[in-house]
Chain A
Amino acid sequence: DQQVKQNSPSLSVQEGRISILNCDYTNSMFDYFLWYKKYPAEGPTFLISISSIKDKNEDGRFTVFLNKSAKHLSLHIVPSQPGDSAVYFCAASTNNNDMRFGAGTRLTVKP
């Protein structure tokens, strides 16, 4: 069963514009959410996270929004840069640290 879903396999945006990556989850027990970024031939690297007690977490150009009632979170990148081009994975975990990943969204930022 796919508990974490990223329904957009790819996204293309212009440099300087906003990138919005979406993620939906089904398990209401998830209480911690993370975004990972993956370049080709490398393992996923941690980008930003949010606890279920918050609805927003910001780190520089990256902001994650959490809507618990809709079981939805999103990652906003503003402004987008060509170096942001990568595959972005959404992940969710429960308090026992059991992490589930989405299928990933490939972001392409065009110069």
Chain B
Amino acid sequence: AAGVIQSPRHLIKEKRETATLKCYPIPRHDTVYWYQQGPGQDPQFLISFYEKMQSDKGSIPDRFSAQQFSDYHSELNMSSLELGDSALYFCASSFRGQVDSYTFGSGTRLTVV
């Protein structure tokens, strides 16, 4: 069965550069969530989208922005990268926000040097 696809799997950027992470949800899933997991930390909710509209906002820095497109894929744009942005970024998708349908991608590991 198709899963949540995240690209790239790994990304290395320098400080002050920008990065774009992509997430392709499971077919028919209309809700996308972004989480950030720093080293030794629990996953922190960043932002979510339902039917291409922002549905909830967590601890997402102002330097980050995200959107969901007509095909339901989502992109997380990160600007003015800092060393502390190095983390594993998970995307999850669900059908109409139903918690039981939550499915995570494998994550994108971002390293800022």
Contact = CB atoms under 8 A, between A and B. Distances in A.
A44, A98, A102, A104 — which one has the most chain B CB atoms within 10 A of its CB? A44
Interface residues of B, number: 23
Contact of B99 (A6, A32, A41): A32
A97 B43 CA distance: 16
B103 interface: yes
B42 A97 contact: no
Contacts, number: 49
A33 B97 CA distance: 15
A12 to B, nearest CB: 18
B25 interface: no
B102 A43 contact: no
Given A101-B43, A102-B42, A46 B56 contact: no
A80 interface: no
Interface string B80-112: 000000000010101001111011111100000
Given A34-B99, A44-B90, A97-B99, A2 B42 contact: yes
Q: How large is the interface on A (under 10, 10 to 19, 20 to 34, 35 or more residues)?
A: 20 to 34
Contacts of A49: 99-100
A34 B90 CA distance: 17
Interface string A1-23: 01010100000000000000000
Interface in A16-59: 32, 34, 36, 41-46, 49
B99 A43 contact: no
Contacts of A44: 43, 90, 104
Interface string B39-78: 0111101000000000010000000000000000000000
B42 A99 contact: no
Given A2-B42, A43-B90, A89-B42, A97 B97 contact: yes
Interface of B: 4, 6, 33, 35, 40-43, 45, 56, 90, 92, 94, 97-100, 102-107
28 contacts: A6-B42, A34-B102, A36-B104, A41-B106, A43-B4, A43-B92, A43-B104, A43-B105, A43-B107, A44-B43, A44-B90, A44-B104, A46-B103, A49-B99, A96-B56, A97-B94, A97-B97, A97-B98, A97-B99, A98-B45, A98-B56, A99-B33, A99-B102, A100-B45, A101-B35, A102-B42, A103-B40, A103-B42
